[in-house]
Amino acid sequence: MQYFSHPACLEHDPRQGLHGHPEQPGRLRAIEAALAERDWLGWERRETPAAREEDLLRVHPTPHVEAIRELCRAGGGAIDADTFAGERSYEAALHAAGSACAMTRSLVAGEAKTGFCAVRPPGHHAEPERAMGFCLFDNVAVAAALALAELGLERVFILDWDVHHGNGTAEIFRHRDDVLFASIHQGGIFPGTGAREDTGSGPGEGYTINLPVPAGSEEALWLSLLEDEVLPAATEFRPQLVLISAGFDAHRDDPLANCRLEASSFHRMGSVVRDAAGDWGAPIGAVLEGGYALPALAESVVATMAALGGEPCPS
Ligand SMILES: [Zn+2]
């Protein structure tokens, strides 16, 4: 089990331009304090290099990468009402994507069976040519594209359990049949995409699974969608690598959405994915997305890592 992060991820701070922004460095500090208290659950910690530009360019066209770099070089600024990049944000974003790449290399090489990337800015809302929803580059998509283009894999399964639809990842792989993308999310909130009827396009038809849930949804519904719809499809797909867009904003304490999961719910979801991935012979890597109630976020990350490592849920 390997844990990936980099101090640069603490230097991106949307509060510099957007007052009271919930996506703030304290999120990583809360996670790391909770893990330190538990001796990191026995996981090996790795400080990861920046992503190479060629890694970003597999999913984001050059003008998007250059626009973010130049905005940061010029001192930064708000990109939209939710999304900000400051002077240090390009560096942070490179290390966020770089962590996902380093984890993927490690998993594919068999150095670890499971990994967790505690990184920010998050990624799953970043579309090919557009930063949005706190996200600059799509970290999990960059990692999946690396696995397929450079590491010899043919099938990658991305499970997005953030409470918001992973519109960026969905768009990036919409036309492809070598990435199965499944998202469980609260319907009717940001970003407004992710209808059940949207199952991908062209050769990617059937390789996108969108499962919106209503406000107030609890663990039983999330778990049943995962067990009854997502995992059977993934079993048929026979993934060689599982990547989780691991947001924790479906927790009942989260201020940005209205679902009612507990930290233990993330342990249950992590455990069933771990069992399934064991059957497929595929390693699992999780990449942090949302989660804005700090104690709930920290507790949920600990629970998820315990599950991925095959340990019981910490009380
Ligand atoms: Zn979210």
Q: Quick one: pLDDT at residue 38? A: 97
Mean pLDDT of the chain: 98
Which residues fall inside 5 Å of ion ligand 1, going by CB?
A: 162, 164, 247, 249, 290
Quick: pLDDT tens for 255-265: 999 999 999 99
Residue 125 is among the residues annotated as catalytic for this protein: yes
Would the pTM of this model clear 0.85, i.e. be above it?
yes
d(CA 246, ligand 1 centre) in Å: 9
Q: What is the arithmetic mean of pLDDT over 57-69?
A: 98
Q: What digits encode the pLDDT tens for the residues 201-228?
A: 999 999 999 999 999 999 999 999 999 9
Q: Is the pLDDT of residue 315 over 90?
A: no
222-249 tens-digit pLDDT: 999 999 999 999 999 999 999 999 999 9
Taken as a whole, the chain contains a residue count of 315
pLDDT > 80? residue 125:
yes
